[in-house]
Amino acid sequence: MRFLILVLIGLTATPAGAARDPVAVCRAEEADSQAYVACLEAALRACDCRPGDDGENAGPTVPGDAGPSGLGAEQVRDVAVPRGGDNEELSVRIVGTTYNARELGTFRTDNGQVWRETTPSPERRRLKPDEQYVARIVRGKLGGYRMYVEGIRHMKTVERIE
């Protein structure tokens, strides 16, 4: 009860600009670590903002709008996806390949995903646009993704865009 009273007092006593910052409200509880953590958890539960948003452009999340899933989904949704298990590698068939003026390849897979190279490919290392390829996309140890195409000696660094 004491905790709720302190939170309510903190909410009403803060200036209008600081009321948007729930962490500032919880700082009054820093002396009591359990109350501080409880205040932060309550602020997180009450927050209806997008993950990774700083609160400035926060908006409600759309229920049922899961967006893309699978390997690389966090790059499309800008949401961290937990690492582990079968989400570390993906076998795909590349059905469409295009290259832009910056020599970056875009690869459309048979499952609807679209991946783009993050480093330019010289002409001799490009995939042919009229051929299909079997590839493996693997999450890198330090982040990012690597694409290994069967029959191609060089690995490609890629990011998922759709």
Pairing of strands 105-109, 145-149: unpaired
The band of 41, judged by pLDDT with boundaries at 50, 70 and 90, is confident
Q: What is the pLDDT of residues 132-153, one digit of tens each?
A: 999 999 998 878 899 999 998 8
Closest CA to 87 of 105, 101, 106, 74: 74
Nearest to 47 by CA among 72, 65, 23: 23
Question: With pLDDT > 90 as the criterion, what percentage of the chain qualifies?
Answer: 35
Tokens standing for 131? 């051929």
Q: How far apart are CA 14 and CA 9, in angstroms?
A: 8
- Report, as an integer, the average pLDDT of 86-95: 85
Phi and psi at residue 138, in whole multiples of 5°?
-125, 135
Number of neighbours of residue 20 by Cβ within 10 angstroms? 12
Domain boundaries, the chain: 2-46, 73-160
Mean pLDDT, the chain, rounded, equals: 75
Each residue's pLDDT tens digit, 15-32: 544 445 777 777 776 677
Q: Which of 36, 126, 112 is nearest to 76 (CA)?
A: 112
pTM of the model: 0.51
